[in-house]
């Protein structure tokens, strides 16, 4: 989650973080081509999956529906399927373009997100915004949300019963938006969506199928604050998405 993952992190200033991303893009151009070929060539093995019966279903990709998003949000405002609803300050539903081709999915809200009712507003979120801008987009062009819509106490990891209660809402969110691509931010989001225990190191760099939507796992922005050297890997991943968005 953006709040927990960003705790205790240091790193360069906002300008330095963006320069790191741009420099990484230049240094890794050749590597990006290799990663992109690997992502589209189909030679890499697919991530292990549980049976389809264990996964929430997205039927087919209907046309994006902002009215559908409003209906899901209204229902979630009254949701108490798990105890998190009682302790939240605000529902952190998600924000962005309701017709977005690209959706970023994180883990769960942090303290600032809970306070403001918006996803990815802490330092990790500011870095995510810079990544989106480096892709030639704005936050308003994409959609940003989390698997959980309420902050777990103490920024702990989401528990299985909380995921089971909240993930069906995410599925309906994605149905309403009908994106072409999902970027799963961090190991937790990627594993939850793909129903696999594989590490992010083996999942990233190539597309996976999520109910007919192409899903790209990559490192969480908070991880990049602690490990700036991984920015070049994230840039490789988003370059693959950019190439497909422009196709």
- Say whether pLDDT at 39 is over 90: no
Banded model confidence at residue 24, pLDDT cuts 50, 70, 90: low
CATH class of the domain comprising 2-246: alpha beta
Mean pLDDT of the chain: 82
- Say whether pLDDT at 93 is over 90: yes
Q: What is the per-residue pLDDT across 43-85, written as a single tens digit (0 to 9) for each?
A: 333 333 334 444 444 443 444 566 799 999 999 999 989 999 9
Q: How much is the pLDDT for 11? A: 45
CA distance 162 to 171: 15
SS (H, E, C) the chain: CHHHHHCCCCCCCHHHHHHHHHHHHHHCHHHHHHHHHHHHHCCCCCCCCCCHHHCCCCCCCCCCCHHHHHHHHHHHHCCCCCCHHHHCCCCCCCEECCCCCEEEEECCCCHHHHHHCCCCCCHHHHHHHHHHHHCCCCHHHCEEEECCCCCCHHHCCCCHHHHHHHHHHHHHHHHHHCCCEEEEECHHHHHHHHCCCCCHHHHCCCCEEECCEEEEEECCHHHHHHCHHHHHHHHHHHHHHHHHHHC
The mean pLDDT value for 107-122 works out to 96
Q: How much is the pLDDT for 16? A: 54
CA distance 241 to 247: 10
CA distance 241 to 152: 31
Q: How much is the pLDDT for 43? A: 36
pTM > 0.85: yes or no: no
Q: How much is the pLDDT for 155? A: 85
The mean pLDDT value for 2-23 works out to 47
111 or 16, higher pLDDT? 111
Phi, psi of 213 (to 5 degrees): -105, 135
Please state the domain extents for the chain: 2-246
The mean pLDDT value for 104-133 works out to 97
Q: Which span out of 25-29, 151-155, 235-239 was modeled with the highest average pLDDT?
A: 235-239
Q: What is the per-residue pLDDT across 198-246, written as a single tens digit (0 to 9) for each?
A: 999 999 999 999 999 999 999 999 999 999 999 999 999 999 999 999 9
- Rounded alpha-carbon distances, angstroms, from residue 15 to 20, 115, 127, 203: 9, 26, 10, 29
Banded model confidence at residue 3, pLDDT cuts 50, 70, 90: very low
- Say whether pLDDT at 23 is over 60: no
Q: How much is the pLDDT for 247? A: 86
Q: Is the distance from CB of 110 to CB of 85 less than 8 angstroms?
A: no
Q: How much is the pLDDT for 35? A: 38
The mean pLDDT value for 105-114 works out to 96
């Amino acid at each position: 989650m953006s709040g927990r993952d960003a705790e205790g992190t240091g790193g360069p200033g906002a300008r330095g973080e963006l320069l790191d991303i741009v420099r990484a893009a230049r240094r890794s151009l050749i590597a990006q081509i290799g990663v992109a070929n690997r992502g589209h060539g189909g030679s890499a093995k697919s991530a292990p999956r549980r049976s389809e019966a264990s996964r929430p279903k997205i039927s087919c990709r209907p046309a994006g529906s902002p009215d559908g998003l409003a209906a899901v949000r209204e229902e979630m405002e009254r949701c108490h399927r798990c105890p998190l609803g009682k302790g939240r300050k605000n529902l952190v539903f998600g924000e962005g373009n309701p017709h977005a081709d690209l959706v970023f999915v994180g883990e769960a809200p942090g303290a600032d997100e809970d306070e403001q009712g918006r996803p990815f507003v802490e330092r990790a979120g500011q870095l995510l915004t810079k990544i989106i801008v480096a892709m030639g987009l704005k936050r308003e062009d994409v959609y940003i949300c989390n698997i959980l819509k309420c902050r777990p106490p103490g920024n702990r990891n989401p528990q299985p019963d909380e995921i089971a209660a909240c993930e069906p809402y995410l599925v309906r969110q994605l149905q309403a938006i009908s994106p072409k691509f999902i970027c799963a931010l961090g190991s937790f989001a990627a594993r939850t969506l793909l129903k696999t225990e594989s590490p992010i190191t083996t999942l990233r760099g190539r597309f996976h199928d999520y109910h007919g939507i192409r899903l790209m796992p990559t490192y969480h922005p908070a991880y990049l604050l602690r490990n700036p050297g991984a920015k070049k890997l994230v840039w490789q991943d988003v370059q693959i998405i950019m190439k497909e968005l422009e196709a």
